[in-house]
Structure 1
Amino acid sequence: MTQEMQKGKHQLGALTGANKRDHFYELHYQTGEIARLYILADGIFRYYLDPTKHFDDNHAAFIDFSEFDHSAFEESQARATSDSLIIKAGNYQLIFQQRPSIMSVFDDNLHRTRFVQGQPLLLGDSQTTEVLKQNKNEFYFGGGLQNGSFSHKGKRLNIKRDHITGNGGVITQVPFFWSNAGFGELRNTLRPGVYDFGADEGRSISLTHDTALFDNIYILADSPSELIQKYYDLTGKPIMLPKYALELGHVGNFLTTYWKPAAAKERNADSFEDGSYYVRTTNPDEAAGRASLNGEETFQFSARAMIDRYAANHFHLGWMVPNYGQEADETALATFNDYANNQNVASGTWMGQAAGKPVAGTSFVQTNTPFSRAILKDRAELKKLLDRKRPLILADTGVAGSQHQTVLAYGSPSGDWDNIPTQVAGFLGAGLSGQPLVGASVDGTAGGGNAQMAIRDLEWKAFTPILFYISDQGSYSKTPFAYNAKMTRINRAYLALRNRLKNYLYSLMYEAQTGKPIMRPLFLEFPHEQVNYLPQVGHEFMLGENLLIAPIYNGREDANSNSRKDNLYLPDHRTLWIDLFTGEKFVGGRVYNNLSYPLWHLPVFVRGGAIFDQGDRNYVFYPQGKSSIVSYEDGGKTDYMHNHAVTRITSELADSTLKIQIDPKMGNYSGMKTEGPTRLSIMTDGYPDSVQLKINDQTIDLQEYGTIDAFNHAKEGFFYNTNFSWLTEFDQYQPEKQKALQIKLASRDLTDTKIELVIRNFNYGSSTLVHAITDSALRSPKQPTIEPEKTSAHSLTVSWPQVTDEVQIEINGLLYDRIKGKTFTFHELMPHTRYLMRLRYVAGNKVSEWSDPFGAITKRPQLDYAVKDIRVDSSLPSKDEFPLAYLTDLKTASEWQTAKSVSDEEPLVLTFTFAEAEKLSRMVYVPRLIDKLGDPLEVAIETSVDGENFTPYGERIAWKADNKNKVIGLRNLTAKAIRLKVFKSEGDCVSAREIMFFRAK
């Protein structure tokens, strides 16, 4: 505490008094501060401490407090005890302890404390900190889109945009977090902050912002969706997308991109309509043509030609931005807009903060500006142009409240495997932070060239809210037809699948208004399994409640050159999971390994009980237990809240009897269909006994048809199809079809028709859910071991005497299945973590007894030994977008570049100074991934024990320009500072993703 006082900080003093004013409670403290407590609504409280006592409600721009009346405050009651002030508001008691002055909230309904401060507020001239106690089973979410993280327990988050799109970067600055204990906090500030969820001390969390004001809103609710919905009450609901935004988009620069002739064998060469190959160039003198909007230069390089190219390759392009990063001539842009709209392509315009108005024909705007006056101006102008159609703004960054005005759509520089799990976790974190509408460009922006990675990236992103490419930012083209015909067909199939799921996605967007994310971490659907809260499953996600997507995110292949998938977790042992493409059934509650997926096959699983609306009253059922959906539709107008319709569909399978009910369509909007037929495709394992139909409680005879042709020509009836597929675009890859009961109902008034179906002797998946039988004839394993020489920070290798072809291994209570042979390596484990295991043999549906427990601890991660908080000085200036701070931030996703080139006469001198003398083992230089630009070629090292006097360390070193890390051994060297000199580099700058120094272990 003395040290904090010396820094000009002090703890909030004892509570000395309180008054009830007109609209708030006024709290007085011994150290002179006055705070105000506002009861904004049920479960929403604002605690505002202003050392200046001005209490300006408009110091931050993302909460409109005028939206809240004073009824909740007026109904509250206060009472004093010998040591506390207690304010009763609804079901909550806000307890302000006098000495020390800490706050807690008690829930009368649950009879437990929701949260409690661990110490009084720490106040300073430019910083405030709140400390909360942390419970063992408490997990934390929010903080905006934090790349690579959705669950933050034990982590430190920066609440500050840094524009780093890779792992560890922060895309949006959202000072909002919440806990599964049922509370959240929103700091009403635009200033950056740091949230430490136990990275330093596991028993508490520390929440700091760079402001002397402590203006904090506490949110209390019984579920994650209620917490997020209350966040929307404060900052605004997410926008509702126009339907075209769910279609494929293309973003490009058709203004300043030059093309030069190239040989077909060049990896980044594109074939054009004139039969020749071209690559991009930045040198106009070697160019054969320049891009344009309408063909003002060379037509085949124009934005119009790109629209035609999508159509020629049989891809429907839903929307396009032709001037990415550039301001365009208004007349040319309006002409392009007219052409695009005639081709049923929504035309967007890139606009910077200082840009003018969107021109005629513009459907939406793309910007690099966060929520601000510029966004509001663009939105107002779009509303004028669109005549009641929904305005759309795509932004590559955001702040609290952005979801009310913009969609988060950004691009990472390189298309690489690491981006996939990083983006999955980041998207999940965005949804949990109140931004459910998010997307990232397929295959990055500037990197590329890995066809397998590009295909796998599009496959999982076909299940995200926004799907698009950003091209013309690097040497490789980014389109779904950039590679060979085989890969183009796969992309086309996934885009057709996305179109089939458009109604499902659209309904999820409407659900998002109530606080339910579109992309969901597993714990939102399966909250009672602790593993679902952990980063271990952060590379998977639920799309709504019915689809689980587990992206392929590495290049590991099996003997057949198919992607090998391990560590795939399917939740809940009572849930049936069905492979969307093959129909293979899996039981939940275990981790699957040794799975094989050819390039066309993404691991996508349908949850038992799922119901899908393909549009036009065409439904697909995967019956299990009781389930329901509410299918949403509207006319695409602004006032969707009052102009829409919903249809409720329920399914219940019990005792081999399936009951399905489709309620009348409720609601109305302009252009709504009120009459039409209904089709149902019900997945089944066998032929049912009978199908009974009631329409508005009247029994209807339903005829059975014996052939698919007869059924297709009938107006009403049913057909048992043993060769069924509702994903016809994938039939070319999956010759084995599935079984389904297909039912067709004639056209009726949909607003006044209740449909009830009863199907008897119905079975689907019941045999899959039968659990294994312990067989005493199978002896239990006696000698499973962990191979210490193969243990790393993220992996353990287990071996055992082989008795059966397959074993199961339980790790920390989680069952790992389909493990074959006599040895297996578990990847993606947490570093420095104890893993307790048991192993048993598997023979068909029989298993042995478990082995005795065994286990090991994974090693510490290498970064634990890296020197932190290094001061670095450079003899050359850095580019604004690649600052020097990125060189030692221990984030390999960030990049640093000099603004000048180097030479023997003027080398780059980088001086790294440590907080204290360090005993080192090595220095590691991490080059950029996209290309070789800036890679050092000749370097030298100097060392210093005092930080002032330097001595050469060896001779000059020659490095190759490639993407491999460069290591300089510094074994047993003790230094206060290190100097790196770069005399020669690739290109006109020096660059690095990171330079790290490691301590001796």
Structure 2
Amino acid sequence: MFRIVFKSIFFLFITVSVFAQQNQKKPFYKESFNDGVLPAGWYIPKVGNWDPQWVVTNQPYPGSYQYQQQAPPIASKSRGYHLQYQAGYFTDEDVDKGWVKKNKYPDGYVVSAPINCSDKSSVILRFQHTFRWWDYHPNNTAGLMLGVSTDSIHWQQWDMRHEVKSATDMFTPLKEEINISRWAAGQPKVFLRFYWKGLQAWYWMVDDIELCEADKKDIGVVRLISPSESGNQFSRHDELQIRIRNNGTDAVAEKFIVTAWNSDKLIATKEIDAAAKIMASGEERDIAFTDIDLSKSPVHKLSFDVKLSGDENPSNNTIRQTVSSKASVLGKLERWSKLTNGIELQSGSTKLKVLFYKNDIFRIWLTPDGEFSDPAGSDIIIDQKVYNPSLKITEDAKNIFISSTACKLQIQKSPILFSLSDNKGKNIWTEKSPLTFGAKTVQQLNYHQDEYFYGGGMQNGYFSHKDSLILIEKGGGWDNGGRANPAPFYMSSRGYGALRNTFDAGVYDFTKYMTLTHNENRFDCYYFVGDNLKKILDEYTSVTGRPFMPARWQLSMGDANCYNKKGTTPDVISKIADEYIKHDMPRGWILPNDGYGCGYTKLDSTVTELHKRGFYTGLWTENGVEKIATEVGTYGTRICKLDVAWVGPGYKYALDGCRAAYEGIEKNSDARGFVWSVMGWAGTHRYSVVWSGDQKGNWEYIRFHIPTLIGSGLSAQNCATGDVDGIFGGSAKTYVRDLQWKCFTPVFMVMSGWAKKDKQPWVYGEPYTSINRKYLQLKMRLTPYMYTLMHESYQTGTPAVRGLMLEYPNDPVTMGKATQYEYLLGKSFLVAPVYKDTSIRDSIYLPEGKWIDYWDGKLYQGKQWLNGYHAPLEKLPLFVKSGSIIPMYPQMNYDGEKPLDTLSLDIYSDGASSYELYEDDGVTREHRKGIYATTPISAEQKATGLTVNIAAIKGNYKGMLQQRAYSLFVHSNKKPVAVLVNGKICSSWTFDAKDKSGVITINTQSLPVKSDTRIVIQMIKV
């Protein structure tokens, strides 16, 4: 059955379609924006007192308030560079206070260069576009307005939204055909305008603009009216409705045929008798096919075709569209087959693949329409190699089983349900209900009462998510609860991790039932099986990439501000760099142009002079990284800080920005990339420090950052931080307390220019200056310990800042939020920051083992809580695990200030212990070629004394010293009777019973590093 609706519109006709390009009249004007810049003669006027503007880009729409996910950069079938307007990005979370309340709109338009149509008797305008608009407080002239003019002053306009509803996601480009002959034919100058007007959000993408002459006989399909592209509820009696239009200059007065197809099968045919009702030029008709059964599948590949004898332009005769249901549930298994590294399943039109890449890494991949897609490509997953998993595939009447050496995946047949167990038979997870897909894809798992969850990227204020709901999306501001750097990854204490291979936003609900949702109509999840969280992080980073390995100097403090306010960047030398020297302050790098529109001058000489004073120089990047070749290769900058104006609010846009900056540094120098960014995603850890955004320095700021950094590390964001004492507000006390604990994290910086007082460590005077100096100097001394942790993370994904559960997974106290205000730096240090205005620190948990107070040497037994710990302002609660060996370099204020010819070892002996020191040149990328060195160090405590073995160094690197002296600080309450170095009596030692409850200090001569060194401390005469 069918029905026809007549609509008459003359002179203007619009055809929206996705059709084959054949037999079209050759365009006399084309613009596809392939050069990546605004074409010559095009211009973008300023509309208001704000700066949203049309851009030429090949990037997705970056996301914004109430539309956190990105829109793919598909403005046309050809893809690539296109015109894009990002209204929602500019209004973002300020839409109510900054825009609606002030009755402002992020309007903006772009105007073409004049086009000569003087010799054309008819003109057809074609272009492709996608958009998403919002009906939130529009004005009465709102629209996505296409304009045509002959003087660029007076415009004929059409609203290109058609019947597309507010907040509709558009995944297939619309193709427009507009007969503009009335206004353009015979005109020497014709201008085109695309005008975003009177709407608060979200975006408009335009591409492949063409002008050509019209055909006399041309009928085409305009668009599919129903069903919608997604979100449908299919039944046995659905209606299919399309719009056709007479695109020709002549009327149609004869019969023609319209057909409907589903998955290339003819389902309906309709003959239209235009002789009975002539179709005038420009007239459109809606045709509906009723009683169509779409109930048997959640996805349909529909196509419609119109055939008119003598049609001069068959290229617009067909439209194809895939439509899907709002929510479909995976049904029973109909067939399955083996693949090289897994199996393929089918249920109706829905197909799934289960693919094993290793014995402990596998993927479940669902496509509703039978065509597997991977929109993220290699952006998130960079290693899809198959590493010869050992698989055994069996089945019985009700299930299929895939077993590897690490796990066993059970697949129930009716309905399809997955269940995972380890190689010992312990259940890891079981689906509570079948996978649901449509507008969102949902997996629901049964909940184990003893199960804890971690990950989700940087979730400000949180690391343990048991009984919580977390959002995997940009937003929430920068304070507690904000999501500055989310990641679609989580780990469970049951022995697995899961990564959704997507850039679409999600929600992970870890409450009564685990409900894991992402806003996409496909399911693509990698699973990692391991008996501990470290193993899972290792697997996760084996496919997403390891955390980047920073240079040594990158572990020192950074300083940022707009030091170019007067247009003289060299001012930073005397006003800031020399002040660091004057105050004897450790330092590492500086950003002299941090701020919107700050810019820089005389960068080359500034970089040179700053380097003489111990600073590397970086740049705050506002609008792109196109100048990076000159800035890095010629001027010598080595850091890029990417703010939201460049990286966008996250997802693929941000990841691409980080990669471009990181690779820009490495392609133009021998240095390691060093990037700071917000709005990261899974994979950002390969390139960038992630920081938590712009906040106010206060006690609450310190409090919520402790679990924030722990949680970031549990998503492999090894270098995560927040600005010291925030960028706003702050005080002398909060500055000291924040700096103290951040000296026991890999990276950090201060950012001035936003608060009444700047943020350098001397601004509050004494005693604060001396306290800050003390901790910065200690951080510099601990560089070899921190650098070795960086290499461990680079090799395994294990972060330097560790929640206690990483090292003590069998201690239930460490699993939840009870220990959220303390952490481990590696295995040796336990840090318990003071986050209140008090000199007493309560609720410090010491896990199993013996712990020594770093400041006074007091010994504590583990598995206990400390309350009432005395922590005056100058004292950070800091404990060392008994048995630790901690390497230190000579005291210096910047990396490279002094030679590393003395290695200090802080030894807390307890039975047998060992440590392996990692070193390389500290600057270049040679370590990636295996050019580095390690030094095994061991200590064995017996009743007779202590033996320390420093083994011969393994490996080599440029600048490696052939000899070095050793200084040992051995914590002991007993004075030795003798010290021997390589069998010879050593007289260069002292014992101080009052220093940290007793310290033996031993200084050796310079010794060859390629030979073993053995130091024996005798406690009794031999």
Question: Which category of TM-score, normalised to the shorter sequence, fits these structures?
Answer: 0.5 to 0.7
What residue is the counterpart of 2:586 in the other structure?
316
SS in 1 for 2:946: strand
Query: What are the within-5 Å matches in structure 2 for residues 52-201 of structure 1?
Result: 52-64=369-381, 67-72=383-388, 75-108=390-423, 110-124=424-438, 126-162=439-475, 164-198=477-511, 201=512
1:749 aligns with 2:1008: yes
1:516 aligns with 2:798: yes
Aligned counterpart for 1:721 among listed residues 992, 1013, 1018 = 992
What residue is the counterpart of 1:293 in the other structure?
569
Q: Is the 8 A contact 1:396 1:408 kept in 2?
A: yes
In structure 2, what is the Cα distance between the partners aligned to 1:666 and 1:679? Answer: 20
1:487 aligns with 2:805: no
In structure 2, what is the Cα distance between the partners aligned to 1:685 and 1:149? Answer: 41
Aligned counterpart for 2:364 among listed residues 47, 55, 59 = 47
1:457–1:293 distance in 2 versus 1, CA, 3 Å = same
SS in 2 for 1:175: strand
1:590 aligns with 2:864: yes
Query: What are the within-5 Å matches in structure 2 for residues 276-291 of structure 1?
Result: 290=566
- How far is the alpha carbon of 1:426 from its aligned partner? 0.7
Query: What are the within-5 Å matches in structure 2 for residues 849-888 of structure 1?
Result: none
Q: Is the 8 A contact 1:393 1:405 kept in 2?
A: yes
The C-alpha deviation readout for 1:209-262, integer Å capped at 9, x for no partner, is 000110111111122122111111111111111111111110112234xxxxxx
Unaligned runs of 5+ in 1: 257-289, 296-301, 557-562, 706-710, 712-717, 725-736, 763-1001
Q: Is the 8 A contact 1:346 1:363 kept in 2?
A: yes
1:374 aligns with 2:657: yes
1:720–1:70 distance in 2 versus 1, CA, 3 Å = closer
Does 353-362 or 461-470 show the bigger shift? 353-362
- How far is the alpha carbon of 1:738 from its aligned partner? 4.0
1:57–1:10 distance in 2 versus 1, CA, 3 Å = closer
1:638 aligns with 2:925: yes
Q: Is the 8 A contact 1:357 1:378 kept in 2?
A: no
1:686 aligns with 2:974: yes
SS in 2 for 1:144: strand
Query: What are the within-5 Å matches in structure 2 for residues 471-620 of structure 1?
Result: 471-513=752-794, 514-556=796-838, 563-572=839-848, 575-615=849-889, 616-620=902-906
Which residue identity is paired with 1:553? Y
Identity score, percent = 28
RMSD of aligned alpha carbons? 2.4
- How far is the alpha carbon of 1:64 from its aligned partner? 4.2
Q: Is the 8 A contact 2:547 2:718 kept in 1?
A: yes
What residue is the counterpart of 1:34 in the other structure?
351
1:364 aligns with 2:650: no
SS in 1 for 2:927: coil
1:10 aligns with 2:328: yes
Q: Is the 8 A contact 1:337 1:362 kept in 2?
A: yes
What residue is the counterpart of 1:223 in the other structure?
532
In structure 1, what is the Cα distance between the partners aligned to 2:953 and 2:767? Answer: 42
Q: Is the 8 A contact 2:672 2:925 kept in 1?
A: yes
SS in 1 for 2:970: strand
- How far is the alpha carbon of 1:355 from its aligned partner? 4.5
In structure 1, what is the Cα distance between the partners aligned to 2:564 and 2:378? Answer: 36
In structure 2, what is the Cα distance between the partners aligned to 1:761 and 1:550? Answer: 38
In structure 1, what is the Cα distance between the partners aligned to 2:529 and 2:973? Answer: 46
Q: Is the 8 A contact 1:411 1:470 kept in 2?
A: no
Which residue identity is paired with 1:590? Q
1:64–1:136 distance in 2 versus 1, CA, 3 Å = closer
1:677 aligns with 2:965: yes
Q: Is the 8 A contact 1:146 1:171 kept in 2?
A: yes
SS in 2 for 1:174: strand
- How far is the alpha carbon of 1:90 from its aligned partner? 2.9
**Count of residues paired in the alignment:** 674
The C-alpha deviation readout for 1:53-90, integer Å capped at 9, x for no partner, is 2212344553346x3334535x4231111210111233
1:146–1:85 distance in 2 versus 1, CA, 3 Å = same
In structure 2, what is the Cα distance between the partners aligned to 1:99 and 1:546? Answer: 52
In structure 1, what is the Cα distance between the partners aligned to 2:392 and 2:964? Answer: 57
What residue is the counterpart of 1:254 in the other structure?
563
In structure 1, what is the Cα distance between the partners aligned to 2:911 and 2:449? Answer: 34
Which residue identity is paired with 1:129? V
SS in 1 for 2:562: coil
In structure 2, what is the Cα distance between the partners aligned to 1:77 and 1:97? Answer: 17
1:362–1:328 distance in 2 versus 1, CA, 3 Å = farther
Q: Is the 8 A contact 1:659 1:758 kept in 2?
A: yes
1:223–1:761 distance in 2 versus 1, CA, 3 Å = farther
- How far is the alpha carbon of 1:165 from its aligned partner? 2.1
What residue is the counterpart of 1:923 in the other structure?
none
1:383 aligns with 2:657: no
Which residue identity is paired with 1:104? S
In structure 1, what is the Cα distance between the partners aligned to 2:802 and 2:526? Answer: 25
1:362–1:304 distance in 2 versus 1, CA, 3 Å = farther
SS in 2 for 1:117: strand
1:59–1:529 distance in 2 versus 1, CA, 3 Å = closer
In structure 1, what is the Cα distance between the partners aligned to 2:765 and 2:386? Answer: 64
1:4–1:722 distance in 2 versus 1, CA, 3 Å = farther
Does 303-312 or 144-153 show the bigger shift? 303-312
1:463–1:444 distance in 2 versus 1, CA, 3 Å = same
The C-alpha deviation readout for 1:266-312, integer Å capped at 9, x for no partner, is xxxxxxxxxxxxxxxxxxxxxxxx474124xxxxxx56421122222
1:337 aligns with 2:607: yes
In structure 1, what is the Cα distance between the partners aligned to 2:1020 and 2:828? Answer: 25
Query: What are the within-5 Å matches in structure 2 for residues 430-441 of structure 1?
Result: 430-441=712-723
Q: Is the 8 A contact 1:541 1:548 kept in 2?
A: yes
Q: Normalised by the size of structure 2, how large is the TM-score?
A: 0.63
What residue is the counterpart of 1:979 in the other structure?
none
- How far is the alpha carbon of 1:188 from its aligned partner? 0.3
- How far is the alpha carbon of 1:664 from its aligned partner? 1.2
The C-alpha deviation readout for 1:645-694, integer Å capped at 9, x for no partner, is 1111122335564332221111111111122222211110112355455x
In structure 2, what is the Cα distance between the partners aligned to 1:23 and 1:503? Answer: 43
What residue is the counterpart of 1:993 in the other structure?
none
Which residue identity is paired with 2:337? N
1:760–1:5 distance in 2 versus 1, CA, 3 Å = farther
- How far is the alpha carbon of 1:554 from its aligned partner? 0.7
SS in 2 for 1:752: coil
SS in 2 for 1:72: coil
Q: Is the 8 A contact 2:949 2:1012 kept in 1?
A: no
Q: Is the 8 A contact 2:725 2:739 kept in 1?
A: yes
What residue is the counterpart of 2:685 in the other structure?
403
SS in 2 for 1:553: coil
Q: Is the 8 A contact 1:661 1:754 kept in 2?
A: yes
Is the radius of gyration larger for structure 1 or structure 2?
2
1:682–1:528 distance in 2 versus 1, CA, 3 Å = same
Q: Is the 8 A contact 2:351 2:369 kept in 1?
A: no
In structure 2, what is the Cα distance between the partners aligned to 1:608 and 1:339? Answer: 45
